[in-house]
């Protein structure tokens, strides 16, 4: 049996509710799954923040959102405006997409300035930086991780889940090796089962972005002889 409790594993999960086509009833079903399994947080579309905060009130599940999602190419001014609105709507964490083209171009100062502006706008709330590793080589991932730390973010994160590739153990290890102990690593994209989740944590991730929370935690509970909550399901592919 894995040497982690269901509660501790749930505490690493940001339950992703980000597909653009999702209807309000579908969003609500996912919010309920997050509450049933007691995950750390949900990561919702910006337009769903206020609703998610109301629906999850009293559950202990935090509400986060995405900034400059999924391409990262919006201006810094626009990203800051998104953060400001997200906080006003009740978000407690923000996951911003790095300007991928700037990172690939070697515009390091511009990348740091973009990150720092979002971190400053978050006013002490946790800010994570998504590198979208499927578009990057190892040098760019390592450098992007260091630039994330230079910009003051709390986490460097692998992927949006919409870029044609997701987290890998090798990339998580590379990111972990290129930031200091103050910066944490979030593995996101393609984390859909218990074995993968545990491998990401073993590689150095401390947070998991996934829409497969019920599957992952249900697999762990099954090993312990239990069963998942009635009606719990996960049919998305993030």
| Positions marked active-site | 95, 157, 186
Question: What backbone torsions phi and psi does residue 215 show, to the nearest 5 degrees?
Answer: -65, -50
Residue in 169, 157, 212, 160 with CA at minimum distance from that of residue 189: 160
Our separate counts of H helices and E strands in the chain read 10, 8
Q: With 0-12 CB in 10 A as exposed, 13-18 as middle and 19+ as buried, what is 163? A: buried
Q: What is d(CA 127, CA 39) in angstroms, rounded to the nearest whole number?
A: 18
89 near 49, Cβ under 8 Å?
Answer: yes
155 near 186, Cβ under 8 Å?
Answer: yes
Q: What is d(CA 84, CA 120) in angstroms, rounded to the nearest whole number?
A: 10
Residue in 7, 8, 14, 42 with CA at minimum distance from that of residue 27: 42
Q: What is d(CA 205, CA 25) in angstroms, rounded to the nearest whole number?
A: 32
């Amino acid at each position: 049996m894995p040497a982690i409790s269901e509660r501790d594993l749930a505490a690493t999960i940001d339950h992703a509710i980000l597909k653009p086509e999702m209807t309000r009833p579908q969003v609500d079903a996912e919010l309920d799954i997050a509450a049933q399994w007691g995950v750390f947080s949900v990561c919702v579309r910006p337009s769903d923040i206020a609703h998610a905060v109301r629906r999850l009130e009293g559950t202990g599940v935090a509400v986060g959102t995405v900034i400059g999602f999924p391409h990262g190419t919006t201006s810094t001014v626009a990203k800051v405006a998104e953060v400001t609105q997200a906080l006003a709507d009740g978000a407690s964490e923000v996951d911003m997409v790095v300007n991928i083209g700037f990172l690939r171009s070697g515009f390091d100062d511009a990348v740091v300035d973009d990150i720092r502006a979002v971190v400053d706008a978050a006013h002490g709330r946790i800010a994570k930086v998504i590198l979208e590793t499927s578009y990057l080589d190892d040098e760019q991932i390592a450098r992007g991780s260091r630039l994330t730390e230079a910009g003051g973010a709390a986490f460097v994160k692998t992927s949006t889940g919409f870029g044609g590739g997701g987290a890998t153990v090798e990339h998580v290890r590379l990111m972990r090796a290129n930031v200091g102990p103050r910066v944490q690593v979030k593995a996101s994209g393609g984390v859909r089962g218990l074995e993968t989740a545990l491998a990401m944590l073993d590689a150095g991730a401390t947070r998991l972005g996934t829409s497969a929370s019920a599957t992952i935690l249900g697999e762990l509970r099954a090993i312990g002889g239990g069963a998942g909550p009635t009606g719990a399901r996960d049919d998305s592919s993030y």
